[in-house]
């Protein structure tokens, strides 16, 4: 139960700060800037990892939890509770932002600026890379693990800076579900659920294949 509560809190703060930065930027004439919003996302992820990483794992992302479960590295019995907690945290954060900014129509909802297929491919690729970086830090040395929050946060910030104006750079179904439900803009939500989950799962399978190949190569040597 403590882990579930931490996932609620982590996802709540992530969505509150991340989408909140975008809303403030819209409400205040662009003072935060696109770079500032991207930096906020990266710093928010890093902070959540520092706060909750040693206990709940700070997944704060259903795609990450599902990918770890598919790989047998996360208990299937916990998966449903984690996903529900993450979505609940995101919805709660979006509800708070609705109270704070009642005139904002999207509340940070992720929307394609081009075609749906363009955003789908981008979200898949972005989440693939994000999950791969998560795995590098999760299975690296203790020295590498110390920089996990910075490294993962940097990737999120970089990807948000690069692709945010095109697809929203969600990489996280919960992050998109919360604003979509509270704002009522559900028309493109399927992209931000299916693409990140697919990207994270593919990343996990590629990671496992590369690890097996590396171990086999070492044994032959």
The DSSP result for 78-90, as a single string, is: HHHHHHHHHHHHH
What is the pLDDT, as a whole number, of residue 142?
A: 54
**What does the pLDDT look like over 136-163, one tens digit per residue?**
887 655 545 568 889 999 999 999 999 9
What is the pLDDT, as a whole number, of residue 108?
A: 94
Give the chain's domains with CATH numbers: 2-220 (1.20.1080.10)
What is the pLDDT, as a whole number, of residue 71?
A: 79
Greater confidence (124 vs 212) lies with 124
Query: Among residues 107, 104, 102, which one has the least CA distance to residue 19?
Result: 107
Q: How far is 140 from 78, CA to CA, in rounded Å?
A: 24
Q: Token match 């704060």: residue?
A: 60
Which tokens in the block code for residue 83?
Answer: 């996903």
Q: Residue 88 CB: number of other CB atoms within 10 A? A: 18
The pLDDT of 184-209, averaged and rounded, is 95
- Burial label for 29, CB within 10 Å (0-12, 13-18, 19+), is exposed
**What does the pLDDT look like over 72-112, one tens digit per residue?**
878 888 999 999 999 999 999 999 999 999 999 999 999 99
What is the pLDDT, as a whole number, of residue 140?
A: 57
The pLDDT of 193-209, averaged and rounded, is 94
What is the pLDDT, as a whole number, of residue 4?
A: 93
What is the pLDDT, as a whole number, of residue 91?
A: 98
What is the pLDDT, as a whole number, of residue 33?
A: 96
What is the pLDDT, as a whole number, of residue 218?
A: 53
Q: Is the pLDDT of residue 216 over 70?
A: no
Q: What angle do CA 42, 48, 50 make, to 5 degrees?
A: 105
């Amino acid at each position: 139960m403590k882990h579930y509560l931490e996932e609620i809190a982590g996802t709540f703060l992530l969505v509150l700060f991340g989408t909140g930065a975008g809303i403030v930027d819209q409400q205040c004439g662009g003072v935060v800037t696109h770079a500032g919003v991207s930096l906020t996302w990266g710093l928010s992820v890093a902070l959540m990892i520092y706060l909750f990483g040693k206990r709940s794992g700070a997944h704060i992302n259903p795609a990450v939890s599902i990918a770890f479960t598919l790989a047998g590295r996360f208990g299937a019995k916990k998966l449903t509770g984690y996903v529900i907690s993450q979505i609940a945290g995101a919805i709660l954060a979006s509800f708070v932002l609705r109270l704070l900014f009642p005139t904002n129509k999207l509340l940070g909802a992720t929307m394609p600026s081009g075609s749906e297929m363009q955003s789908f491919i981008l979200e898949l690729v972005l989440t693939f890379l994000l999950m791969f970086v998560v795995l590098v830090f999760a299975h690296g040395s203790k020295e590498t693990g110390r920089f996990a929050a910075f490294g993962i946060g940097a990737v999120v910030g970089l990807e948000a800076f690069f692709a945010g104006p095109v697809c929203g750079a969600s990489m996280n179904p919960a992050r998109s579900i919360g604003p979509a439900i509270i704002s009522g803009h559900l028309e493109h939500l399927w992209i931000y659920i299916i693409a990140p989950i697919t990207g994270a799962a593919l990343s996990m399978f590629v990671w496992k294949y590369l690890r097996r190949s590396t171990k086999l190569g070492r044994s032959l040597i």
